[in-house]
Amino acid sequence: MGKSVSPVQEVLSYIKTNKIKFVDFKFMDFPGQWQHFTVPASELKENSFEDGFGFDGSSIRGWKSIHESDMLLIPDAKTMFFDPFIESPTISIICDVYEPATKEKYDRCPRNIAQKAEAYLKSTGIADTAYFGPEAEFFVFDDVRFDSGPNFSFYSVDSIEGKWNSGREENPNLGYKPRYKEGYFPVPPTDQLMNLRNEMVENLINMGIDVEAQHHEVASGGQCEIDMKFNTLLKAADQLLMFKYVVKNTAKKNNKTVTYMPKPIFGDNGSGMHVHTSLWLKGKPLFAGGGYAGLSETALYFVGGILKHAAALLSFTNPITNSYKRLVPGYEAPVNLAYSQRNRSASVRIPMYSSSPKSKRIEFRCPDPAANPYLAFSAIMMAGLDGIMNRIDPGEPLDKDIYDMSPEELKDVPSTPESLGHALRALAEDHEFLLKGNVFTEDVIRTWINYKIDKEIKPMALRPHPYEFEMYFDV
């Protein structure tokens, strides 16, 4: 048998064989966006995967003060991929963030939190693997403009598909515009983004991501979805960031733009990120059983944990002020905290596509694609584990159409938080379940809450809203 090659040796060999000129290091900031810097390929050596590369952490959102800014990036060789969007031959490697003085992983590094979550899961003995399958919806626009100043504020988005353009002079206007709430899913030419989505899928597959399907979504104006195959918690989070990177850059190459903002269009469906999850132990699925919808007792307790901690969870899974513009009745968003088989109006759904125990999973429908996946997936798993450990009963399932139920029938069904502020207050009061195994820390929770209040909620609250002029200018 030949000698096995380490991931580090594979990277160095790939650079040499493919005449790679640059190495791009990608890492995750606190709120949830990839950051990067680049070095010539000659700078990446075998010891780089232990010694790392220094950088200034004081300019990264939610991280260091200027007097303690030095930080260290250590590349994870197993995450290398060829970057098709850079002109010079370039590979990208996802990195972990370390404290240079102690060589310990940085507590506020979201990828570190996901790694601690996976380690904690194994330590419980309940399971050794958590699988996640996110379905991140997005809008493809042809034009976007926005600005804000002391005396003005506006935004404008446009799409060749937008129903609002059915009367526009386009020389010629060919008329194929999906009607509001009817974009799911007519064939081309009404679906004008088929070729673009296929190009996105090809790029994803070439970068090692398994894709299950692509399709137009419900909203007019270019709403789409591409579904990746499930993966382990850390890998699913890594791949979701690769996915967003590929989708945005493929769109830009085609002179279009993509947003994962949950609610960019008024009066039509917003973009969610339904998250499918299951637990496994020694290669065997733990969520299949003889209970409701074919679920095991373990799975039902997992659901109980999610529903109990949902308000706090949403501060991570629906982390921006715009998230709560989507979580309103009437647009297929799950505003009532209940569970059901097949019923897509419930916040937790049990898909019934297959009877195989391996496919048994639960689908948390509240999250949206603005989430930092390392934090969101970790928090979902921690809530579910708390449900299992404390045998939290999820209550009775809700198999009626929630949107057709009377107020009297709904009075005992809890609702999602009305705003990011409400979700953050819930997190402040309910986060003990996140601290187990030191997965999240008090510092992480406090910093997250303070960052969101200071950088997002307060600035938003200070500014007049354009629609206020519509309502109030003549008072």
Q: Which of 225, 227, 268, 456 is catalytic?
A: 225
363 is catalytic: yes
56 is catalytic: yes
**Are 315 and 426 contacting, i.e. CB atoms less than 8 angstroms apart?**
yes
Q: Which of 108, 111, 216, 274 is catalytic?
A: 274
Q: Which of 217, 368, 386, 456 is catalytic?
A: 217
Of 290, 279, 229, the C-alpha closest to 384 is 279
Q: Which of 36, 215, 344, 422 is catalytic?
A: 344
183-210: b (≥16 Cβ within 10 Å) or e? beeeeeebbbbeebbeebbebbeebebe
User: Is the bond into 189 cis (omega within 30 degrees of 0)?
Assistant: yes
Rg of the chain (C-alpha set): 23
274 is catalytic: yes
Q: Which of 135, 161, 238, 456 is catalytic?
A: 135
Of 460, 463, 442, the C-alpha closest to 452 is 460
Q: Which of 137, 191, 268, 456 is catalytic?
A: 137
- Alpha carbon distances (Å) from 159 to 192, 217, 257, 464: 10, 14, 10, 27
Q: Which of 365, 368, 386, 456 is catalytic?
A: 365
- Alpha carbon distances (Å) from 170 to 166, 173, 236, 265, 309: 10, 5, 42, 21, 50
Q: Which of 56, 212, 393, 432 is catalytic?
A: 56
225 is catalytic: yes
344 is catalytic: yes
Distance CA 172, CA 120 (A): 60
202 is catalytic: no
Distance CA 290, CA 60 (A): 49
Helix extents (H) in 254-372: 297-308, 310-317, 323-326
What does residue 64 show for φ and ψ, rounded to 5 degrees?
-85, 155
Q: Which of 161, 363, 368, 386 is catalytic?
A: 363
Residues in the chain: 475
Residue 257, H or E segment: strand 257-259
Catalytic (active-site) positions: 56, 135, 137, 217, 225, 274, 344, 363, 365
